[in-house]
Amino acid sequence: MVDRNIISKLGLTAEELEKQVSEIFTDEHDKLLGEVLDKNVEALVPGTIVKGRIITQLGNDVIVELGLKSEGIVDASEFDDPSEIQPGREIEVLLEEVDAEGSILLSKRKADRIRGWEHVITHHKEGDIVKGIVSRRIKGGLLVDIGVPVFLPASQVDIRKPGDISRFIGQEIECKILKIDTENHNIVVSRRKIIEENRQANKEKLLAELEVGQLRKGVVKNIADFGVFIDLGGLDGLLHISDMSWGRISHPSEMVQMDQEIECVVIGIDRQAEKVSLGLKQKTPSPWETVAQRYPVGSRVKGTVVNIMNYGAFVRLEEGVEGLIHISEMSWTKRIAHPADILQVGQEVEVAVLDINKDKQEISLGLKQLETNPWSIAGQKYPVGTIVTTKVTSLTNYGAFVEIEPGIDGLIHISDLSWTKKYNHPGECLQKGQEVKCVVLEMDEEKHRISLGVKQLTEDPWVRAIPEKYIPGQIVRGVVTKLTNFGVFVELEPDLEGLLHISELSDEKVESPQDVVKIGDVLEVKILRVDTEARKIGLSLRRVRWAAEDQAASAGGEEKKSAPESKPETPARRGGLDGTLMPGPIKISPENKQENA
């Protein structure tokens, strides 16, 4: 802007003033002034980084002078440290916008990022190790400030699943640059790679130093149902749950917790597979070394029920020493379906020591051994031949279980129910709760078994009664009770049957017994044989008819002696019988039935 008043006071014309200025400012001065003006104009182009000087702070606005009397505004929040806002301090800023009113908006944070990116690209490459502070958590991982924000994926935070990765926020960590994307200004880093490389170096050194029996300190890194993984400093060792305590524990977390430092004994090394087995209980002597002296076989001891299974109950005698009461060792007489029927966890019990296996660390215990075995005197109370009155407790396909006295049961086999009748199931003659008189047949005290019989209360009819009553050749009456493909069963008297074989039904071939007889028919049959050993009676229907034909033939012969012959005699048939053989049952008249009865 030109001040015309000053020019008029000097008394110079415009031509004279221009001449004097031209004499003072040469072409060289014009050139220098032009370069300065061009430089400052270019510096105020949006998107460029310029240097400025802090003038003052007004509220959240920091006023920065850019030169040529130009001033811009930077938000105070863009200064990571408020103490950096000091008048006169020179900073670099990014010129973001110049509005219509001439106001200039600046960004210090963006300028810092651009300079930081340029520094990273210039001084680092993929594979380099950098340090930075974790600034915040984002989707899929963390942001780490190494001069510029870089991405640390959650999978690259640690060699194990780290859990809540937010705990790393604010920590300074070392990372390896995995990828640099110059086009999109993205950098991906990994903390896991550094840990793996360090662990590999430490692992090789550790494997060379480890020996079985050494005491080693480590940090709990993972807890599973089966045990604990301990970081020994480059190599993980497994502390199995069975090696944590001489006593019983349900889960490893009862003894250790994450990141806890513990000292263990090296109990196994597989250098080829790079596996190490650790033990905690091995730091103290095993209580099983002297268990036989403390709990001799036959002694009575007290313990606490700690676990119940379907096959028995575990009893803790002391810390680290447990024994098993098998279900078969709980009672001499009671049938125990499950140990929980008489025991419960936490119950204190007195038991007898039955056996000790120090190598397998097993102790067999018993409850019933505290009482007198009733079976030891059962043989004296119930010798073979003793008649007892029992009560049916259960029925099976093969017989009936009966109670002789509380706790003493016996078995009546189905074959010992009757001398003559054959039962398909004992339920055909017995029922649960029924009182039955029977005789002791056999006693096995060791196996706790008593065999009983009902039929033995009477004499075996097959010895005398049946052979004396039913003589081969005798004709008797009976009722058809059962038809089979091989013959017919005929009841001769209650509980006594004979077999009429299909071949003995008729002289002609019979395809099925149903073609000749039916159930309920009353037949006259001939006794063929009585087998007392096999307890069977063989019968014949056709031979009865032969006898009838013989009688008819005899009567006809008498008549022929008095009358002249009219024609030649027909040849005699087998068995000396003549006449037509008529298959089918013999019908018995009511008078005959009554007479037979």
Give yes or no for a contact between 278 and 243, defined as CB atoms under 8 angstroms apart. yes
Task: Name the pairing type of β-strands 536-540 and 496-501.
Answer: parallel
- Does residue 44 carry a pLDDT above 70? no
Give yes or no for a contact between 108 and 74, defined as CB atoms under 8 angstroms apart. yes
Is 275 in the same domain as 340? no
**380 in any annotated domain:** yes
Closest CA to 507 of 589, 577, 560: 577
Q: Which of 370, 404, 429 finishes a domain?
A: 370
Give yes or no for a contact between 108 and 95, defined as CB atoms under 8 angstroms apart. no
* Segment 178-184 mean pLDDT: 82
Is 482 in the same domain as 588? yes
**342 in any annotated domain:** yes
- Does residue 577 carry a pLDDT above 80? no
CA 51 to chain centre: 71
526-558 confidence digits (pLDDT tens): 999 998 888 889 999 888 888 777 666 666 665
**251 in any annotated domain:** yes
CA 251 to chain centre: 16
> What was the pLDDT predicted at 76?
83
Q: Which residues pair with 304 in a beta bridge?
A: 316, 348
**142 in any annotated domain:** yes
pLDDT band at 376 (very low <50, low <70, confident <90, very high): confident
- Does residue 53 carry a pLDDT above 50? yes
**348 in any annotated domain:** yes
- Does residue 259 carry a pLDDT above 80? yes
> What was the pLDDT predicted at 365?
95
> What was the pLDDT predicted at 224?
92
> What was the pLDDT predicted at 124?
78
Top-confidence residue, 594 or 126: 126
Is 279 in the same domain as 298? no
- Does residue 592 carry a pLDDT above 70? no
Is 130 in the same domain as 242? no
* Segment 184-192 mean pLDDT: 87
| Beta carbons within 8 Å of 356's beta carbon, 6+ residues apart | 291, 292, 295, 297, 362, 363, 364
Mean pLDDT score across all residues of the chain = 81
57-109 confidence digits (pLDDT tens): 888 888 888 875 678 888 888 887 788 888 888 888 887 777 656 677 888 88
Which conformational region is residue 141 in: left (phi greater than 0), alpha (psi within -120 to 50 degrees), or beta? left
462-504 confidence digits (pLDDT tens): 888 888 888 898 889 999 998 999 999 999 888 888 999 989 8
Joined tokens for residue 114: 């651009």
* Segment 281-302 mean pLDDT: 88
Is 585 in the same domain as 522? yes
* Segment 415-437 mean pLDDT: 89
Joined tokens for residue 343: 């025991």
Residue 422's SS3 state is coil
**201 in any annotated domain:** no
Top-confidence residue, 118 or 474: 474
% of the chain exceeding 70 in pLDDT: 83
Task: Name the pairing type of β-strands 435-444 and 387-396.
Answer: antiparallel
Which value, to the nearest 10 degrees, does the dihedral of the CA atoms of residues 162, 164, 167, 168 take? 50
Is 404 in the same domain as 393? yes
Place of tokens 């006071």: 9
CATH number at residue 31: 2.40.50.140
Q: Which of 457, 484, 502 finishes a domain?
A: 457
Is 390 in the same domain as 404? yes
Q: Which of 397, 427, 457 finishes a domain?
A: 457
430-473 confidence digits (pLDDT tens): 999 999 999 999 988 778 889 999 988 888 888 888 888 888 98
pLDDT band at 12 (very low <50, low <70, confident <90, very high): low
Task: Name the pairing type of β-strands 536-540 and 261-270.
Answer: unpaired
Lowest-confidence region among 16-20, 162-166, 222-226, 454-458? 16-20
554-572 confidence digits (pLDDT tens): 666 655 555 554 444 434 3
Is 433 in the same domain as 486? no
pLDDT band at 309 (very low <50, low <70, confident <90, very high): very high
One-character DSSP codes across 86-123: -TT-EEEEEEEEE-TTS-EEEEHHHHHHHHHHHHHHHH
- Does residue 581 carry a pLDDT above 50? no
Is 349 in the same domain as 302? yes
Is 466 in the same domain as 596? yes
Task: Name the pairing type of β-strands 275-279 and 236-240.
Answer: parallel
DSSP single-letter state for residue 584: S
User: pTM (2 decimals)?
Assistant: 0.41
> What was the pLDDT predicted at 6?
59
* Segment 328-345 mean pLDDT: 88
Is 38 in the same domain as 101? yes
For the chain, how many structural domains are there in total? 6
Residue 245 structural domain = 210-283
- Does residue 589 carry a pLDDT above 70? no
Please enumerate, as own/partner, the contacts of 39-42 that have beta carbons within 8 Å and a separation of 24 or more.
40/67, 40/68, 40/70
Which conformational region is residue 280 in: left (phi greater than 0), alpha (psi within -120 to 50 degrees), or beta? alpha
Top-confidence residue, 98 or 523: 523
* Segment 354-369 mean pLDDT: 91
pLDDT band at 159 (very low <50, low <70, confident <90, very high): confident
Is 382 in the same domain as 514? no
